[in-house]
Homo-oligomer: A and B are copies of this chain.
Amino acid sequence: MSERQTLSSVRNAARLLKQFGPHDRELGVSELARRLGLGKSTVHRLLTTLVAEHLLERDPYSGQYRLGLAVHDLAAAAVPNDLHEAVSGLLETLRNRTGETVQVAVLDGREVVYVERIDSPHTLRLFLEVGRRNWAHSTGTGKALLAHLPEDQLAELLDGWEMPALTPYTITDPAKLIEELRQVRRRGYAQNLHESEVGVLSVSAPIRDRTGRVVAALSVAGPAQRMQPVMNQITYGVIEAAALASRRMGCPR
């Protein structure tokens, strides 16, 4: 969009706010003027305005400025009400980018439930409707979710779990599943390699809420022949989309 269509004083204010960070807790008029390339009187006026709006506050002793409480209020207001809103737009973008089915699932005991889904445009595609369930141990989303369960909850699920071998590749040994989940945590995403259905691959990454807790998993799934050649691109796209959804949920970077 054209620079002419934006408000320079508002952009200056935004740029000023973005100067603050973990290593820049407090800043003064002159330092901000230097960083922003603005006059000191200009910066002084910006600061006064932002303090009036509680986006900044001034330390009465040092005279320096720092981010104010209204910033937290905005962040709280920015957090979506639900998962659907958090992934809004992200699934379409990823489906358009990869050409494959994109879905979001949550864990329910030893199963995953698909709560969001955008289908691949290909005729050959997975056919699973929202609300459908599948075994957690044999799907990418399931492994992405199991991997981030608290240890006691995972142990409780594993106790007495006779995992069905849906294909010759399905992990059915609890010890092997635990090792697999350790790998999932290590690299940040899960893969389903013919484990729920021969000929089907998927990549999944966790979506976290503002406390960092995993609340869902996002995945791309499709026929092995189409997925295999572009696994790296798909993996990257899944991780990026899940990270964006997490950030929308207020999860720190």
Contacts and interface: CB of A to CB of B under 8 A. Distances in A.
Contacts of A250: 72, 75
A55 interface: yes
Nearest to A62: B88
A49 B247 CA distance: 21
Identical copies of this chain, number = 2
Nearest to A76: B252
Interface in A57-91: 59-61, 66-78, 80-81, 85, 88-89
Given A72-B250, A85-B25, A210-B210, A77 B20 contact: yes
A14 interface: yes
A7 B46 contact: yes
Nearest to A244: B69
A144 B212 CA distance: 26
A78 to B, nearest CB: 4
Interface of A: 1, 5-7, 9-11, 13-15, 17-18, 20-22, 24-25, 45-46, 48-53, 55, 59-61, 66-78, 80-81, 85, 88-89, 210-212, 244, 247-248, 250, 252-253
14 contacts: A6-B49, A7-B9, A7-B13, A7-B45, A10-B46, A10-B50, A10-B53, A18-B70, A20-B77, A25-B85, A60-B89, A67-B74, A72-B252, A75-B250
